[in-house]
Amino acid sequence: MKNSINKKEESISGIGVKSFVTAILVIFIMMILTYLLTLMVPGSVAGTYEECVPLVVPIAQAFDISAQLCIVAFAFGDGFSNVFYPTNPVLLISLGLVNVSYGDWVKWSAKFQIVNILLTSLLLLVGLAIGYS
């Protein structure tokens, strides 16, 4: 037990500032890439996962980012994009039922999407800092 604690402390304290900043950029780019790929592969979490994860997990592991944190970044990017993109049929049906245009929805929900991206980026940063795996 003590060895695993020491090993975790070494990995966190052993990471340099430059590589930590690079890791932050990589994990943020992974989330944004998932956000964009969801637009191209609409309605299918499995399809987006199949397209995204084989690309980003090896890149992330090259920067000592765990595969688990990659999956969390994927889940954040995919989940929040589903309530924003017009390719989601449930969103369009819901907007039709309440008689709200998609343009009005974008204007209203854009600020929430920005807050979501900032908060989830902060959570990914915390996960990276504590060595989540």
- For the chain, domain boundaries: 2-129
pLDDT tens digit sequence for 71-120: 888 888 888 887 888 878 888 899 999 999 999 999 999 999 899 888 98
At 36 the pLDDT is 80
- Mean per-residue pLDDT, 26-54: 79
**Whether residue 35 has pLDDT greater than 50:** yes
Amino acid at 67: A
Instruction: Please state, in angstroms and as integers, the Cα–Cα distance from residue 44 to each residue in 40, 80, 126, following that order.
Output: 10, 14, 29
86's enclosing H/E stretch is none
The C-alpha angle 100, 105, 110, rounded to 5 degrees, equals 170
pLDDT confidence tier of residue 9, bands split at 50, 70 and 90 = very low
Query: Is the CB of residue 35 less than 8 Å from the CB of residue 113?
Result: no
At 108 the pLDDT is 92
